[in-house]
Amino acid sequence: MTQTKLFERTHYCADVLTSRLGDEVIVAGWVRKRRDLGKLIFVDLYDRTGVLQVVFDPERNPELMNSAGDLKRESVLVVKGNVSERPPDARNPEMLTGNLELIATQMRVFNTSKVPPFHLIGDQEVTEELRLKFRYLDLRRPEMFRIMKIRHDTQQIVHQFYSDHGFMEIVTPHLIRSTPEGARDFLVPSRLHKGSSYALPQSPQMLKQMLMIAGVDRYFQIVKCFRDEDSRADRQPEFSQIDVEMSFTATDTLFNIHEALMQKIFHKVLNVSVECPFPRISYQEAMEHYGSDKPDVRFELKIKDITDLCMGSGFGVIDNIIEKGGIVRGVRYPGGASLSRKQIQDLESIVKVRGAGGLVALRIANDGNISGSPLVDLLTPSQRDTLKSTLNATANDLICIVAGMKSIVENSLGTLRLHIAKQLKLMTDDLAFTWVTDFPLLEYDEIEKRYQAMHHPFTAPHPEDLDLLESNPQACRAQAYDLVLNGVELGGGSVRIHDRILQNRVFQAIGMSQEDAQKRFGFFLEALEYGTPPHCGIAFGMDRLIMMLAGTDNLRDVIPFPKTLQAVCLLTAAPSPVTNEQLEVLGIKLINDQQKHCET
């Protein structure tokens, strides 16, 4: 075989483990490291499977030895050679192939690399901006490839699992009608229909519901979704979700199927056992005891309501809050009685950032006495004992109390609870899956002065609360549910409305006139009149699921080519200005003709 024809590999680097000593193999990859010892040159060649040491010996091939001396880090080449056992004193137990090496007989260099802008191995600090700009290099790093492999494995499991459970994979379109309700749509102007635009789907919600009307019965796909939202650390303008819909199915069945899915994914990918069934708590319970609709239940530290206990205590600030309809809740800080004044002030700053007026911090001494606030003197001994028992507080604990409007108290104490757990290292490596159920159907938007759907307007109200839809909308519960893992929302879904009359009632509850509903959703409302079966569904954030499996807290780590927080692709410099000629074809004219490049 001549050097010019040396091209196609026979083995990946780690596959030489299946070869016999002396076998002739061809491997290909990138140069991770070159060590010139004078008499021999050693090159660490790597590909997606691992690293293999290649040895260049001048006694076997002087010309090849000279070529190896010019190899640069990250250059790409193919090498032919014989598998050999390393000498005992040269073995590397940290490498998968650490007992073997390849004695090179031929080599072909396809491309000599420039010096990379950052090291692809080791713990060198590299800014995320640089990593994203050179993402194709960043993805070569072992850690990033590990994550991409987890993503691939998970997707394969998902496809096989749903197929085994009678689901059909159906691809829905990415160019659809804009139906603004919730986040902003990404619009795609039409050249053929000037003045009109498609929208990229925020979710295939109505499409998958119409698949149920079509009789598909069980549908799934791993789908791209697009939302033009403001910057948030755990959001991307385009993301992937596992999308599912089922007809004639109770929510218990949906829960059971997806508990089995999670069980299979975590076993296959991480070799970790997941116990089923998952616990279920209501939205109300989650907010009351954890201060969050995505509760981290790996540790106890429940928030407790002490409004009745503090009512009429004579402590002016709290009395005024209760009289105005506010609440009082508290959480204990185990061993927190020893915190300094400065440390308690730091706790107070956490709740103040969330809108609380302040924090009442009560220390419990070794003898059980409580101190730290005038509130203590206004409580009877019996009330003090009740306070401690309600919060499960004992000697040397700190009781943290917040009073205010319900949403502020929940948000601030929920954040404080997580802070305490991090300080005390209470968050274990356990997998604490939890279903959160019975969300409110609607929430009031103070800016727009109207009700909005908490999930989406196609969610069915709880059957017991139908009479509340017009009389007391905020008290109406939805047949909606989320799956939460260790404080992260993995996905959510609901029972859908399958009756046009009820769908119209929900539209009216969110302030949408019949005319507006017909204009936005007429095609869907009409479909509801053609034999729509009862159905329910769920969607899981694939990126968040991979983030949990990979053990990273950065969503951008698990997406091959992500955007920055400003929704910019540093690799391709998107979004970018377009020419006036391109805009003219679409019938679009910029209000401000001075086009500016996007800034990162």
Delimiting residues of CATH 2.40.50.140 domain(s) in the chain: 3-111
- pLDDT value at position 488? 96
Give burial (CB, 10 Å; 0-12/13-18/19+) of 371.
exposed
Delimiting residues of CATH 3.30.1360.30 domain(s) in the chain: 299-427
- pLDDT value at position 108? 95
- pLDDT value at position 447? 84
User: CA of 318: how far to CAs of 36, 270, 346, 388, in Å?
Assistant: 75, 49, 21, 18
CATH 3.30.930.10 at 146-273+434-580, yes or no: yes
Residue where the block lists tokens 């609901």 = 494
The radius of gyration of the chain from alpha carbons, rounded to an integer in Å, stands at 30
Distant-in-sequence, close-in-space partners of 297: CB < 8 Å, separation ≥ 6:
279, 290, 432, 434
**Which residues, listed in sequence order, are joined to residue 480 by a DSSP beta bridge?**
494
Residue among 388, 437, 89 nearest 255 (CA)? 437
- pLDDT value at position 233? 74
Topology of domain 3-111, per CATH? OB fold (Dihydrolipoamide Acetyltransferase, E2P) (2.40.50)
Order of strands, sheet of 238-247, starting from the edge strand that comes earlier in the sequence: 168-169, 218-226, 238-247, 535-541, 488-495, 480-485, 433-437, 280-282
Matching CATH number, 299-427, of 3.40.50.970, 3.40.50.300, 3.40.1010.10, 3.30.1360.30: 3.30.1360.30
By the 8 A CB rule, do 327 and 409 touch? yes
- pLDDT value at position 4? 52
By the 8 A CB rule, do 500 and 525 touch? yes
Q: Look up the pTM and report it.
A: 0.92
List average pLDDT for each run of 10 residues in the chain, which is 600 residues long.
69 94 96 92 96 94 90 96 94 94 95 94 88 96 96 98 98 91 86 94 95 98 93 86 97 98 98 97 98 96 96 90 96 97 96 96 95 91 95 96 96 98 94 97 88 94 96 96 97 97 96 93 96 98 97 94 95 94 91 51
- pLDDT value at position 600? 37
Annotate 547-569 with three-state secondary structure. HHHHCCCCHHHHCCCCCCCCCCE
